[in-house]
Amino acid sequence: MTRLRLVLCALAPALLLPPAAAAQINVGVTVSATGPAASLGIPTRNTVALLPTTIAGVKVNWLVLDDATDSTSAVKNARKLVSENKVDVLVGSNTVPNSLAMIDVAAETGTPMISLAAGARIIEPVDAKKRWVFKTPQNDQLMAAAVAGHMARKGVKTAAYIGFADAYGDGWWSEFSRAAEGRGIKVVASERYNRPDTSVTGQVLKILAARPDAVLVGAAGTPAVLPQKTLVERGYQGLVYHTHGVTNPDFLRVGGKDVEGAFLPAGPVVVAGQLPDSHPCKAAGLEFVRRYEAAHGAGTASSFGAHAWDAGLLLQAAIPVALKRAKPGTPEFRAALRDALEGVRDLRGTHGVFNPSPADHLGFDERARVMVQVKGGAWQLVP
């Protein structure tokens, strides 16, 4: 009986609404599947393909475009999706510059947007434009605080930083230096390198000369291996920390024994299987990993795909609410969807528990991060 009612409920909108285009929801996704952020964009694209094609009985079309990690293309994609495909919501893109550039399109056309990039600047402060913008990855601030906290517990007095010479490296530098100061850790060196650099010997020598207790590598993906490899080569004995930007299987593959013992903050999904059963993110994390690896092979799931999965979960929570207020394809529906996204409560995602509010369009707390150590070529939860 219950099942019959469920089926009827699911069918109801389809029966009541005319079978026109209005009975479909279009989600426009722009990902950085080529260019420098391709290692984020490719798992995102793969994950979007796994998201449900019906939500609350309404057909959902996921339209995915590639922006080649170029902010001009991201804006072009967003405009095309909004004007030609009449999307009800925008998802993407993977990098902070691309997401920032897309905000204007979202605000101008009154389309809610869920960014998959980490920078807090994308959603803060919530103003007339950014009221349309949400995001799923953790703020760097939350992660930097975790790093500094762990350093303090390990008795670290002096730390050095080496990061990308771009928005990612600079963002982490400002968050980490602030967090370290709060914990009484002295930052004795700050160096930069470029993603495709073939050598960081100079920077590492400078860091070694400052004799820090710990080194934080502010880099994403496999390029983060090089500084630690060079440190190990030069006989550095202190602790090495990474950011959550490295949590993909390729980092472990390329790093091998050179990254053994490194600490990093990460979303709970990275160690979903090792979480205690009481952790709110365990179920969602395991579900994502199971679905992704069923489609792409064992050991392929990365935390970057999980951000897109979380965007999918947010939409699955918000769309049924918005459908009660308006029909898809209308400005009213987009406004209703925005309100519904802001009103999501206690949504257990793969990376954390979403509690957005009018002042905070992410709404994560401490449950959105765990400390992880590289042990035996795998991620190990640090209790």
Partner 1 sequence: MSLDVALWLGQDGLVNGAIYALLALSLVLVFSVTRVIFVAQGEFVALGGLTLAALQAGRTPGTFWLLCAAHGAVALRDGAAALRAGSARGFGRSLLFHLGYPALLAPVLWLAPLRSAPAWVQIPLTLALVVPLGPATWRLAFEPIAGASVLTLLIVSVAVHLALVNLGLLSFGAEGVRTRPLSEARLSLGSVAVPAQAAWVVLFSAGLMAALWFLSRRTLAGKALRAAAMNRVGARLSGIPVALAGRWSFALAALVGAASGVLISPITTLYYDTGFLIGLKGFVGAVIGGLASYPAAAAGALLVGLFEAGASFWASAWKEIIVFGLVVPVLLWRSVAARHVVEED
* Interface with partner 1 (CB under 8 A): 34, 36, 38-39, 41-42, 162, 165, 191-203, 205-206, 209, 221-223, 225-226, 233, 248, 250, 253-254, 256
Cβ proximity to partner 1: between 96 and 162 the closer is 162
Burial 78-92 (b: 16+ CB within 10 A, else e): bebbbeeeebbbbbb
Q: Are 378 and 252 in contact (CB under 8 A)?
A: yes
Cβ proximity to partner 1: between 253 and 324 the closer is 253
Cis peptide before 93 (omega within 30 of 0): yes
Contacts of 301 (CB under 8 A, 6+ apart): 43, 288, 289, 292, 293
Helices (H), 55-193: 71-83, 96-109, 140-153, 167-182
Cβ proximity to partner 1: between 38 and 314 the closer is 38
Q: Are 354 and 310 in contact (CB under 8 A)?
A: yes
Q: Which two tokens stand for residue 17?
A: 């609404």
Shortest separation between residue 224's beta carbon and partner 1, angstroms = 9
Cβ proximity to partner 1: between 34 and 274 the closer is 34
Shortest separation between residue 23's beta carbon and partner 1, angstroms = 37
Shortest separation between residue 339's beta carbon and partner 1, angstroms = 37
Q: Are 248 and 304 in contact (CB under 8 A)?
A: yes
Cβ proximity to partner 1: between 103 and 200 the closer is 200
Shortest separation between residue 199's beta carbon and partner 1, angstroms = 5
Shortest separation between residue 280's beta carbon and partner 1, angstroms = 31
Shortest separation between residue 54's beta carbon and partner 1, angstroms = 31
Strands, E assignment, 177-320: 186-193, 214-218, 239-242, 263-266
Cβ proximity to partner 1: between 206 and 348 the closer is 206
Q: Is 86 helix (H, G, I), strand (E, B) or coil?
A: coil
Q: Which two tokens stand for residue 357?
A: 């509010």
Distance CA 265, CA 111 (A): 33
| Single-letter amino acid code for the residue at 274 | Q
Shortest separation between residue 203's beta carbon and partner 1, angstroms = 5
Cβ proximity to partner 1: between 97 and 343 the closer is 97
Cβ proximity to partner 1: between 250 and 360 the closer is 250
Shortest separation between residue 44's beta carbon and partner 1, angstroms = 12
- Bridge partners for 374 per DSSP: 379
Contacts of 187 (CB under 8 A, 6+ apart): 158, 159, 160, 161, 176, 177, 180, 181
Cβ proximity to partner 1: between 146 and 162 the closer is 162
Shortest separation between residue 226's beta carbon and partner 1, angstroms = 6
| Single-letter amino acid code for the residue at 362 | L
